[in-house]
Structure 1
Amino acid sequence: MKLHLNAAPERYELIPGGENDPGITITARPALTSVIEDAKADDSLLDYADEIRALADAGDDAAASAEMIRSKGRVGLMFAKAVARRVIDSWEGVEGEDDSPAAVTPQNIDAFLDVAPIYDAFTEKYLARWLLVQREKNVSAPSRNGTSARARTTAATAKASARSARAGRSVRKAKKAS
């Protein structure tokens, strides 16, 4: 894990620009542990958890089961919005209804992430990076083919395969008398 102690905001290009299109870029602070924990305790997530709990208590109703399955995606969106509201400082390429630059407000951030390509880009280019950091710090070394290929091997390599047992030769030894 590479420690990233700089808490300064960074720029993230969510949607690349073209010739006459500036694209969409955000400036966001790192989603450190305090941000992630605050987002987990966001009122919208807690209220939704109560709804899901009520569905679970409703029993084996097919409609309740279908809603439980759909809830996973909704929780992901709600979590991304909760994080975004806490970290996005500014953006470029986002306009309001009057074609002027949109203000960075909690309501505008929620509307911003309601656009599917924006949500996908935010989770891929910003959120995934910080969730990986959260997972790596919880004592699980990253896999060698992952982003942190410098994790050292802790087990020695086996010298050779073990020989197979010979057929008909495995008999229990008699216990010795005391």
Structure 2
Amino acid sequence: MLRLNLSNEPHWLDLGHGVRLLVEPLTTAVMLAARSDPAILAATQVAEGEDAASNDDLARIVAKAVARIVVKDWEGVGDTEDKPLPVTPSGIDALLEIWPIFEAFQTKYIAGALILEQEKNG
């Protein structure tokens, strides 16, 4: 059975390592907006003689594009002097370059939507 969460309010997503993100729900509108991100467009348009982006590269690019749209706040992210950093697009990209954080974001946030998509097409 498909369980609908009709709330469109942001919620906290615990990524471990003391990091939490305040994220908007992952909706069709978010995924469509992420699709038009220049990095995704560049990765999916292969010029003659060039190699296509690997699935891993594409997953990283998509996760960053989605995160830049949905992350509204965070906790547990600071500079080298442990001062909290504000949420910025470059900060989100840097955060998702940390493997355990990327994996947690993929698993806890993006994978739910992808699993639903697989079930629909299965």
**TM-score interval w.r.t. the shorter chain?**
0.7 to 0.9
Which AA in structure 2 matches 1:12?
L
User: In the alignment, which of 91, 100, 106 is matched to residue 108 of structure 1?
Assistant: 91
Judging by fraction of residues, say which structure has more helix: 2
2 CA distance for matches of 1:34 and 1:96?
32
Query: Is it true that 1:34 corresponds to 2:34 in the alignment?
Result: no
Question: 1:3 is matched with which residue?
Answer: 4
Question: What is the 5 A alignment of 1:148-159?
Answer: none
Q: Which runs of 5+ in 2 are unaligned?
A: none
List 4+ stretches of structure 1 deviating above 2 A: 96-99, 130-133
Please list every run of 5 or more consecutive structure 1 residues that lacks an aligned counterpart in the other structure: 17-22, 59-63, 143-178
Deviation at 1:49, TM superposition (A): 2.3
TM-score by length of 1: 0.62
Partner of 1:14, secondary structure, is strand
Q: Please give the per-residue CA displacement for 1:116-165, whole angstroms capped at 9, x wherever unaligned.
A: 111001001111123334x17x8x288xxxxxxxxxxxxxxxxxxxxxxx
Give the distance between the partners of 1:4 and 1:131, measured in 2 at CA. Answer: 16
Report matched runs for 1:10-49 at 5 Å: 10-16=11-17, 23-49=18-44
- The alpha-carbon deviation at position 98 of structure 1 amounts to 4.0
Q: State percent identity of aligned pairs.
A: 34
Secondary structure of 2:95's counterpart equals helix
Aligned-CA RMSD value: 2.1
Q: Distance in 1 between matches of 2:39 and 2:99?
A: 19
Counterpart contact for 1:36–1:83, Cα < 8 Å: yes
1:46-65 matches, within 5 Å, as 46-50=41-45, 53-54=46-47, 57-58=48-49
The structural deviation recorded for 1:107 is 0.6
| 1:83 lines up with 2:83 in the alignment | no
Deviation at 1:87, TM superposition (A): 0.5
The farther-off stretch of 88-97 and 103-112 is 88-97
**Equivalent residues, number:** 121
Output the CA distance in 2 between the equivalents of 1:14 and 1:79.
18
Give the structure 2 partner of residue 158 of structure 1.
none
1:24 maps to amino acid: V
Partner residue in 2 for 1:120 = 103
Structure-2-length-normalised TM-score? 0.87
